[in-house]
Structure 1
């Protein structure tokens, strides 16, 4: 009678050519994904190496690169001249240099203010400071003799 393999009739049979083909296609897709991931990892490592070479002090700053550094960096010099909007005289260039120096100084000052102790921003500490001032003022009022009128 029917001496054939009944598993050949099942759709899930791993011996069927169509199922082997599906498995092979999935394996190829996974291999491509792995290659793409390896390439991206290589690109990331190259970018990190380049960043470390370009700015070696960046490691010491606990800031992450988020694509907005250009907004906070120093302004570009002489853009108008490069765009052909105006010509620059030596007096203008010297004024720009003075302005840039002051901007660098202000940038350094802003970096120093970041190291400021923010414990005074605590509402409870403000309350305690206000209470101490009030106590000192009341002691001063008590210790000052009132003059007769």
Structure 2
């Protein structure tokens, strides 16, 4: 009469294409995760080796490495700001526009170029 395996019509049967695809996706996801873990382990080992080398250099007498973040809170240099501190504050407060600051800077440069 009717041939074929009735188990192939069951949703839980491992030979169905849908279940094989699901298993394949899970295996692939697991292998990708393992690759990421291995990469992270490798990076961690490299960082540890670098730290060990820095500690050996510090013990040998080279300068101490600073892990502090003081540079982040330091005020910018006036030369790197490109202008007057009052102008920068006015810009941040919305009292001056960028175009006006650029015009002022260009006029200062041309005036200083004429006096040199």
Normalising by structure 1, we get a TM-score of 0.40
Structure 1: 4+ residue segments shifted above 3 A = none
* Runs of 5+ unmatched residues, structure 1: 59-68, 87-149
Larger Rg: 1
1:38 is aligned to 38
1:6 aligns with 2:12: no
Distance 1:32 1:17 in 2: 22
Deviations 1:84-125 (A, max 9, x none): 259xxxxxxxxxxxxxxxxxxxxxxxxxxxxxxxxxxxxxxx
Deviations 1:20-50 (A, max 9, x none): 1110000100010000000000000000000
Which of 1 and 2 has higher RCO (CA within 8 Å, sep 6+)?
2
Q: Give aligned pairs, total.
A: 69
* Runs of 5+ unmatched residues, structure 2: 59-66, 80-116
Distance 1:15 1:40 in 2: 36
1:24 aligns with 2:24: yes
> Could you say what the CA RMSD is over the residues aligned between the two structures, in angstroms?
2.7
Range with bigger deviation, 42-51 or 1-10:
1-10
Pick the aligned partner of 1:70 from 65, 68, 71. Answer: 68
